[in-house]
Amino acid sequence: LCYEIHPGEDLFDGVTYERFLDRVGGHARACILYDPSHFVLQQLDYLGFLDFYKDRIRMFHAKDAEFTPSARQGVYSGYQPWVDRAGRFRSLGDGQVEFGAIFAKLAAVDFPGWAVLEWECALKDAEVGAREGAAFIRRHIIPIAAHAFDDFAASGTDEATNRRMLGLGRPA
């Protein structure tokens, strides 16, 4: 079971998820479907959320959004059509979600789930958005390194070889 956090529509957030988690006794299967687009629409910290709930996230909706408030409309946008709202969903890469940072955080914790394209754009054609979105996800997936970049430093040293390479001759 994944609890999809929809702060932009239903006002669910980490606090609400924790209330749900309390109701189910912290059950291990009460996990999160993470969708950063909703965090943008509600103006919540979607990168900090990853740090806080990384152990509970099992699925990732890769969906973009943008939020451009004005003096006349903000988070709720007065029930305008999607294309006119201050907060609206966009195709991957066309909005304000920092996907490079999200994929890096997920790679750092060896995220076991899927990055699933969820397309809901107020402007772009669906077929174009799907084609571009699949390529976008492919470009952002970070293959986990088998070794740390500085593992060579633990290989030991050979003083004679180092002195020879540096042109220092034999030790005195």
**DSSP string for the chain:** -EEE--TTTT---HHHHHHHHHHTTT-TT-EEEE-HHHHHHHT--HHHHHHHHTTTEEEEEE-EEEE---SS--SSGGG--GGG-SEEEE-TTSSS--HHHHHHHHHHTT--SEEEE----SSS-HHHHHHHHHHHHHHH--PPPSS-TTGGGGG---HHHHHHHTT--S--
Tell me which of 16-25, 41-50, 52-61, 71-80 is least confident.
Answer: 71-80
| Residue 96: per-residue pLDDT | 98
For the entire predicted model, the pTM comes to: 0.81
pLDDT value of residue 6: 58
| Tens-place pLDDT, residues 108-139 | 999 988 899 999 999 999 999 999 999 999 99
